[in-house]
Amino acid sequence: MTTTPKTRTERDEGGTTVTAPSPTQPQTETPSTDAASKTGRGKKRAGAKRRTGAKTPAAVQAPADEQKPAAVQAPTGEQKPDAVQEPKPVKGPRHAAPEPALRITGLRKDYGDVKAVRGVDLTIAPGEVVALLGPNGAGKSTTVDMILGLAKPTAGSITVFGKVPYVAVREGLASAVLQEGSLIDDLSVRETLGMISSLYKDPLPMDEVLRRANIEDIVDRRGTKLSGGQRQRARFACALVGNPQLLILDEPTSAMDVGSRRKFWESMRKFTDTGRTVVFATHYLDEAEEFADRVVLMRSGQIAADGTVAEIRALTAGRLLRAAVPGATADELKKLPGVTAASIRLGQAELHCDDSDAAVRALVTRYADAHDIEISATGLEEAFLTLTSDDDASQDDTRNTEDEAA
């Protein structure tokens, strides 16, 4: 038993490069990926995007457009995401021959006055591994619930492999490891799996489930005897029993220590290597970077950005220039050469630059008393923070950018 997983792992390591997804990916990704990858990433794209951005939201690259300015200042998302997302559902599905693994159209969910999800359109092709990022309250979990038929959308529609969510779940097409949701304490993992197995018409054989979920070691323990990480792996096993084509994970590793996380993602690789579709919500950006082909960033119930990890990272691939610039306003700083967006936070200017060299020269020339200058590269985390930040400063920025673009 020990040997089998091992060899598997090794094999997986080779296949880790997300083999499965790539063939199918282009189909749905076309709108955004095209724009991004063909234009090349980084600076050029940034420019191009900004030009198109505000004016022609319907353009094919709309998502990309959106992202760049948004990257610089989250808020663009505020008004435009609707426009921005539109091309996707329209385009993707029509050209994609096979039924998408997941198609979400105009999805909304209100809890009383709280608008948890405010218009999400998303199409995911079979085989894609998609990370769903966003701060708490961005609407990730609500969206996940609706994808699984656990919550009813206020408006909009969802299909999973062309079927209504609850039908897809019942038929074993889709399954999930949710954030909350526990195992029964007085049953052993094996008993729980056996029971769930008896509910499916055509379940995976138990041995297969255990091997895939990497839980041979804990299968005879009762729920009470499991650590957080073990429990989560056991729940992953529960999700595998029905042999799903689409697996949804809502912060699957939040209760895990480092070791458990590694083990978990190891088994997840095995799973995605078989060409299954995975959508996972996470707070760990490194997980998204490492495992996802595509990143969907949510903010305030909408999609703020959608693209490959590289693309998203490229949104802020410029440099971030921080400096104390007494007396300067974000507006003025924005106009410096090489600067794509500017904001002032806690008395410190934050300039997103596509040419930080030009920017820093101009800055010190024009503002002689600028000090504490610091230039840093931006990564996915930076992209995440800027794309999802909600504060006023960045809202101002948005307007600025839009003005300029217009």
Partner 1 sequence: MTGYLAIEIKRMLRGPRFIVFAFVVPVVMYLLECMLYKKQTIPHSHGITYSAWLMCSLAAYSAFTSSMHTTARVSHERQIGWHRQLRLTPLLPRTYLLTKVFVAMVVALPGPAFVALFGWLVQDVHLSASGWLQITLGIWIAALPCAVLGLVIGLYVAPEQQQMYLQGLIILFGFLGGLLLPTTGFPDWLVNIIKVMPSYWLADIGHGALLHDTRALVGAAVLAAWTLVLSGAVVLSYRREAARA
279 forms part of the interface with partner 1 (CB under 8 A): no
The piece of 22-30, 40-48, 180-188, 338-346 that touches partner 1 (CB under 8 A) is 180-188
Q: Which one of the spans 92-100, 124-132, 185-193, 370-378 is the region binding partner 1 (CB under 8 A)?
A: 185-193
What is d(CA 205, CA 234) in angstroms, rounded to the nearest whole number?
Answer: 15
DSSP string, 137-178: TSSHHHHHHHHTTSS--SEEEEEETTB-HHHHHHTTSEEEE-
Site for partner 1 in 102-161 (CB under 8 A): 145, 148-152
Among 40-48, 121-129, 179-187, 376-384, the segment contacting partner 1 (CB under 8 A): 179-187
| Binding of residue 239 to partner 1 (CB under 8 A) | yes
Residue 247 CA to residue 262 CA, distance in Å, equals 18
Residue recorded with tokens 């799996």: 193
Give residues with Cβ within 8 angstroms of 112, minimum separation 6. none
In the complex, least distance from residue 189 CB atom to partner 1, rounded to whole angstroms: 13
Identify the residue among 22, 199, 357, 374 touching partner 1 (CB under 8 A).
Answer: 199
- Least separation in angstroms between CB 163 and partner 1: 13
Total Cβ atoms within 10 A of residue 57: 20
Count, residues near partner 1 per rule CB under 8 A? 35
Distance of closest approach, residue 275 Cβ to partner 1, in angstroms: 21
Which C-beta is closer to partner 1: that of 182 or that of 348?
Answer: 182
Distance CA 285, CA 292 (A): 10
- Binding status of residue 178 toward partner 1 by CB under 8 A: yes
Type of residue at 222: R
Chain position carrying tokens 């909304």:
108
Residue 190 touching partner 1 (CB under 8 A): no
**DSSP state letters, 6-74:** HHHHHHHHHHTTTTTHHHHHHHHHHHHHIIIIIH-SSHHHHHHHHHHHTT-TTSTTHHHHHHHHHHH-G
User: Among 171, 289, 355, 390, which residue interacts with partner 1 (rule: CB under 8 A)?
Assistant: 171
- Site membership for partner 1, residue 60 (CB under 8 A): no
Distance CA 219, CA 217 (A): 6
**Integer CA distances (angstroms), 225 to 183, 215, 218, 267, in order:** 11, 14, 9, 22
- Our finding on whether 195 is near partner 1 (CB under 8 A) is yes
The Cα 321–Cα 247 span in angstroms is 40
Residue of the chain from 9, 197, 227, 395 that contacts partner 1 (CB under 8 A): 197
Interacting residue with partner 1 among 59, 102, 120, 169 (CB under 8 A): 169
354 binds partner 1 (CB under 8 A): no
Chain residues binding partner 1 by CB under 8 A are: 145, 148-152, 169-172, 175-176, 178, 180-184, 186-187, 191-192, 194-201, 235, 238-239, 241-242
